[in-house]
Amino acid sequence: MAAITTIITGATSGIGKETALALAKKGHALYLLVRDVVKGDELVRQLKQQTVNKEIFSVKCDLSDLHSVYTAAEKLKSRLFAINVLINNAGGMYPMRKLSHDGFEMTFAVNHLGHFALTMHLMPLLQKGQARIINISSEAHKMGKPDFDDLNSEKSYSSMRVYGAAKLFNIYFTKSLAEKYRDKGITAFALHPGVVNTAFGAGAGGMTGFFLTIARPFMITPEQGAQTTIYLATESGLHTKSGTYFKKKKLAKVSSAADDAAARERLWQVSEEILMAHPAGL
């Protein structure tokens, strides 16, 4: 039987790395989309040493650069016939406002826009593979209040506020994928991995940094944090739950804002418009 082909972003550390290791052990053919090629190649070497799996590869992809996303997608399309699992795992929180290569606020660019572009560019292969698309969200989405008139946070900036909005966008994207591609064999899931002890949020100042420092001794390990992602990537019989949000491998409630169908559709339209206006296109 052919190996399951799985794409993972943000696999060089934290829960992404633990997810990659677990799926490598299960025999998935893994394509690790990495910003740092040196780290990516080292991870490939480590995973091959730790498992009998030789079908592990790294592909350069900087989610804050839409041209890099497009180039990575084209490389995958030239090598693969179908994709069975796409794990949009990479994310980031930035203590100070900064802009992506394309001029978008970095939290929005990395957590949502880059993954939206990647998923859309790979959609032909995802449909061929009847794929599961797994988006790493967070309970922080419950703090999210999208402002479509200020997606670049030019009026004001708070790292937790924009992060909460980005995690809410992950749930919007999940629900939209499940709805729009239901008849194409696509299923989509969002999840909260838990409060994981990783380098995430390193350098955060103010109250965010203070709370991260206090909470760190009580955080779960990256291996524990990866369990819901691994479950959603491998468990059978989940197709009826497409479009839902999981925590600790169980269905979980989302905020009332996450059920706003009009906001969900607006995010999709805005994201499409951004990509169509970019030289890489859709």
DSSP 90-128: -----SS--B-TTSSBHHHIIIIIHHHHHHHHHHHHHHH
- Contact between 20 and 8 under an 8 Å Cβ cutoff? The reply is yes
pLDDT digits (tens, 9 = 90+) for 85-111: 999 999 999 999 999 999 999 999 999
User: Which candidate in 31, 70, 163, 181 is catalytic?
Assistant: 163
The residues, any chain, with a CB within 8 Å of residue 59's CB and separated by 6 or more, are 31, 32, 33, 34, 40, 72, 75, 76
Torsion of CA 220, 93, 35, 152, to 10 degrees: 150
The pLDDT assigned to 196 comes to 65
Known catalytic membership, residue 163: yes
The pLDDT assigned to 212 comes to 46
Domains of the chain: 5-277 (3.40.50.720)
Among the listed residues 204, 206, 200, 191, the one whose alpha carbon sits nearest the alpha carbon of residue 219: 200
The pLDDT assigned to 282 comes to 67
The pLDDT assigned to 279 comes to 83
**How confident is the prediction along the chain (282 residues), in pLDDT tens digits per residue?**
578 999 999 999 999 999 999 999 999 999 999 999 999 999 999 999 999 999 999 999 999 999 999 999 999 999 999 999 999 999 999 999 999 999 999 999 999 999 999 999 999 999 999 999 999 999 999 999 999 999 999 999 999 999 999 999 999 999 999 999 999 999 999 999 988 665 544 454 444 444 444 444 446 788 999 999 999 999 999 999 999 999 999 999 999 999 999 999 999 999 999 999 988 766
